[in-house]
Chain A
């Protein structure tokens, strides 16, 4: 019998290069670590320790949007949603963070897809952004529907526009930018009207469920990145459970990216 493979995640003391405001609640955190930048793949995540905040002893799991393995830089985008992320936002350039990574299984990008649809909502945009850059650089035609509650929570649109060859559609729940409503509406229309080889989505579960179910109906491959509260990030604590057609799995080790048909949506 084989011995199971532990996570490839390792502890890195990384230097913070930037931790800047990109929206009222949104921050862009750039960290420098050559080894981690070489190892991490789109859709994987890191688990970051913040010190000095007794309300956040567990690490904070974050996805990355961009990675430059030549410069050793990783760009993470996060929302301030509680005391832990508020403490993280206080960390300045030059300070050191303990980062565990790379964690989880990322997007499967080598599917010979010609045309892909990417759909994201909220901070779910972060890992999908990383997928968009990777797909675009390997010549895949990408249409991207990105949704947020309000204009202030949208970011990176200019950069996306510069990289992807297809359509970029932004939606806001309150109509303050782009189309009013949820990302699911234009995304489901595109999915019905155009022919895609692959769909990638991350965001609120109702969004992912709608996209995944429609893709399955059309026979199009759909990868979903599941978000869960979690403690360890490497398979030790069983807190990040995702119900699948083959039983409970862990978002940290079996995911966060799953085949949409595998997920049993609540």
Chain B
């Protein structure tokens, strides 16, 4: 028996619920050769701004118990650079049936608007744009525009009129219900949560941070239970579709997000540990839908029994 896996993530038609977390998946082409990337429902590309960014100084990552900490700082080639180097590949991937979601980075409302306008002009193959208002590594001392309902909705209100494409918002792991409500009111089509969790990892012998800045973003399995809880809270607060992200290693981990109310699920750090994990996780997720006696994964969204 085959089960129906197609989902609609705020206007983004996905042939199955699996997506990739921005920053763990390059621009998609890096994974070709490891498996057929078009098995995924969607990919989300590395956040790009209107102009290229250098990102932070090395060291940019360290292993921590149950995951890793990073301080990449959204190094990116700019929207033009993305289109010049990966545009042909991404257009082809889209034609192969995988939705291409482009993440948008910025330091200010004006920069987000400029980047969205460039994507509009240069990336006709993009199925949607994910506005990253919650990178923990770009602002001095913490999370930027997305840390308050006012800041978050200001960005989305500004970019909303610039595109008809579905707008996703990458949310910080903080104040989830109230910011989710503000984003819904501001015109977002879907929410992606959670971004990495601000954390610290210190070398006590040298008394230095293990990365080039005092704080970074935690990702990996250590985040999973927190992310499931936050997806559940967001699903209670708003009617927007949600893409759950955080520590997915298996089909069961993905299924937890769906039970908590997510429409789609992104694979993040596991892409780095086990670069060919996506087909395995997809098969496990499909087997779970079948095991539950459902014929369509949409029947199980938010189907938590408590």
Contact = CB atoms under 8 A, between A and B. Distances in A.
Interface stretch (A6-14, A129-137, A157-165, A169-177): A6-14
A263 to B, nearest CB: 12
Nearest to B60: A239
27 contacts: A1-B88, A3-B89, A4-B27, A4-B85, A7-B30, A10-B34, A49-B273, A49-B274, A54-B65, A54-B66, A55-B65, A57-B66, A58-B61, A58-B273, A229-B58, A229-B60, A229-B62, A230-B61, A231-B70, A232-B24, A236-B271, A236-B275, A238-B75, A239-B70, A241-B55, A248-B75, A266-B57
Interface string B89-108: 10010000000000000000
Interface in B210-225: 220-221
Contacts of A231: 61, 68, 70, 269, 272
B272 to A, nearest CB: 4
A156 B89 CA distance: 45
A132 B25 CA distance: 36
A237 B24 contact: yes
Contact of A237 (B23, B84, B92): B23
A231 B219 CA distance: 12
Contact of A238 (B29, B72, B271): B72
A57 B30 contact: no
A234 interface: yes
Interface residues of A, number: 38
Given A11-B276, A57-B221, A248-B54, A235 B63 contact: no
B68 A57 contact: yes
Given A57-B220, A58-B63, A229-B60, 20 more contacts: A3-B88, A3-B92, A6-B29, A6-B30, A6-B33, A54-B66, A56-B63, A58-B273, A59-B273, A83-B63, A228-B60, A229-B59, A231-B61, A232-B30, A234-B30, A236-B25, A236-B271, A237-B23, A237-B24, A239-B70
Contacts of B70: 231, 237, 239
Contacts of B221: 57
Interface string A35-52: 000000000000001000
Interface of B: 23-27, 29-34, 46, 52, 54-55, 57-68, 70, 72, 75, 84-89, 92, 220-221, 269, 271-276
A242 B275 CA distance: 23
B203 to A, nearest CB: 10
Contact of B273 (A1, A57, A234, A266): A57
Contacts of B89: 3-4
A4 to B, nearest CB: 5
A84 interface: yes
Q: Do most interface residues of chain A lie in helix, strand or loop, or is the interface mixed?
A: loop
B31 A236 contact: yes
Given A4-B85, A236-B25, A228 B65 contact: no
Given A57-B220, A57-B269, A238 B65 contact: no
B31 A228 contact: no
B60 to A, nearest CB: 4
Nearest to A2: B88
Contacts of A232: 24, 30, 271-272, 275
Interface string A177-204: 0000000000000000000000000000
Interface in A202-240: 228-232, 234-240
Given A57-B221, A58-B63, A237 B33 contact: no
A150 B301 CA distance: 60
A57 B88 contact: no
Nearest to B53: A248
A229 B211 CA distance: 9
A6 B31 contact: yes
A247 B52 contact: yes
Most buried by B among A7, A58, A84: A58
A247 B23 contact: no
A232 B31 CA distance: 11
Contacts of A84: 63
B88 A100 contact: no
Most buried by A among B27, B65, B87, B272: B272
B20 to A, nearest CB: 9
Contacts of A4: 27, 29, 85-86, 89
A55 B64 contact: yes
Given A54-B65, A241-B60, A235 B33 contact: no
Nearest to A253: B30
A3 B29 contact: yes
Contacts of A229: 58-62
Nearest to A98: B274
B272 A237 contact: yes
Nearest to A49: B273
Contacts of B272: 58-59, 231-232, 236-237
Contacts of B65: 54-55
Given A231-B68, A231-B272, A237-B272, A6 B32 contact: yes
Given A238-B60, A240-B58, A57 B31 contact: no
A56 B68 CA distance: 8
Contacts of A235: 26, 30
